Amino acid sequence: MSSFKAFDIAGSGMAAQSVRLNTTASNLANADSVSGTAAGVYKPRHPIFEAVRAQLQAHGATTGAAESQPAVRVRGIYESTAPASQRYEPGNPLADTNGYVYAPAVNVVEEMVNMISASRSYQNNVEVMNTSKDLLLATLRLGQG
């Protein structure tokens, strides 16, 4: 495996964690939103990751054993099917005829834990890139002495 593929792998991990951070931020931003109907309430979103091992061929030439490159890809983003919580707020302008508003099924504590985890995973991928860069530069300096 080429030393430069570490950058591709870490980069795919960073891209995946960036999507995770964005969906978590969206869930947190809409945690206190309400709707007049259960169908119209915000649905929390979560990314689905997939480990990928793409078959590569060196410079387009067919080799006996093709190299494989692991990576992470966002397979999709699904919306939660958890039911909305119903609150009695007859003074709310969005309340239905019975005085209820509907809030999304967002657990703020779980979302904060998810955000911390995604942030640390992103930081770990940055550290992999920095370490790989340092090792490549040290290898290049070997020929100077």
Task: For residue range 53-88, list pLDDT tens digits in order.
Answer: 765 444 454 444 445 567 888 999 999 999 999 999
Give the lowest-confidence range in 12-16, 50-54, 80-84, 121-125: 50-54
Q: How far apart are CA 42 and CA 86, in angstroms?
A: 13
- The pTM score is 0.81
Q: What mean pLDDT do residues 108-136 have?
A: 95
Nearest to 71 by CA among 134, 21, 8, 144: 8
